């Protein structure tokens, strides 16, 4: 069966499954990134000890519990630890900043984005917020979306008061 452009356009309007044939539907690069008007990270939380993880768990690494629930992670936080990477795998642009961000008590490993990768712009305690960016498109036109954290604001010293 051949589908012409008018068929696809009318199926888009009706919401039928064919709507994705020409729609732009970005795909998050990790399962715990939720896209939408307000992108967010979703962790699994142990119902017993409240430890949080970003991957599927059969048992809690902290207490051995086996009951989990999904919880939204705060979209803002502060840089707890970081390194400026100058040597990476072929094809990866350097330098970049790899960091651990404290988001309301949840530790998130991510890159710091949208700021220069140097110690004048990145410091411990720097307030940051979740940001998303395009990683590119595959041969079918599907866009992959990544996440990182970007500084909320900065002063000359790089720290808010």
The DSSP element (H or E) to which 151 belongs, if any, is: strand 143-151
* pLDDT for the residue numbered 5: 38
> What's the CA gap between 139 and 143, in Å, rounded?
10
Looking at mean pLDDT, say which of 9-13, 55-59, 121-125 comes out highest. 121-125
Cα separations (Å) of 22 from 13, 15, 133, 136, 139? Answer: 12, 12, 21, 17, 14
Position 102 confidence tier, pLDDT thresholds 50, 70, 90: very high
> Does pLDDT of 113 surpass 50?
yes
* pLDDT for the residue numbered 23: 59
**pTM for the model:** 0.78
* pLDDT for the residue numbered 153: 74
Position 24 confidence tier, pLDDT thresholds 50, 70, 90: confident
The DSSP element (H or E) to which 70 belongs, if any, is: strand 68-72
């Amino acid at each position: 069966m051949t589908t012409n452009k008018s068929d696809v356009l009318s199926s888009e309007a009706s919401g039928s499954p064919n709507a994705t044939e020409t729609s732009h539907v970005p795909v998050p690069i990790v399962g715990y990134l939720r896209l939408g008007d307000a992108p967010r990270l979703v962790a699994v939380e142990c119902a017993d000890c409240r430890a949080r993880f970003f991957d599927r768990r059969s048992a809690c690494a902290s207490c051995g519990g086996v009951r989990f629930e999904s919880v939204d992670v705060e979209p803002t936080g502060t840089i707890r630890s970081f390194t400026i990477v100058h040597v990476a795998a072929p094809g990866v642009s350097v330098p970049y900043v790899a960091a651990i961000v404290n988001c309301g008590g949840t530790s998130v490993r991510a890159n710091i984005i949208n700021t220069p990768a140097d110690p004048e712009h990145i410091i411990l305690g720097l307030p940051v917020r979740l940001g998303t960016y395009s990683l590119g498109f595959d041969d079918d036109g599907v866009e992959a979306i990544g996440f990182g954290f970007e500084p909320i604001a900065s002063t000359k010293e790089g720290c808010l008061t």
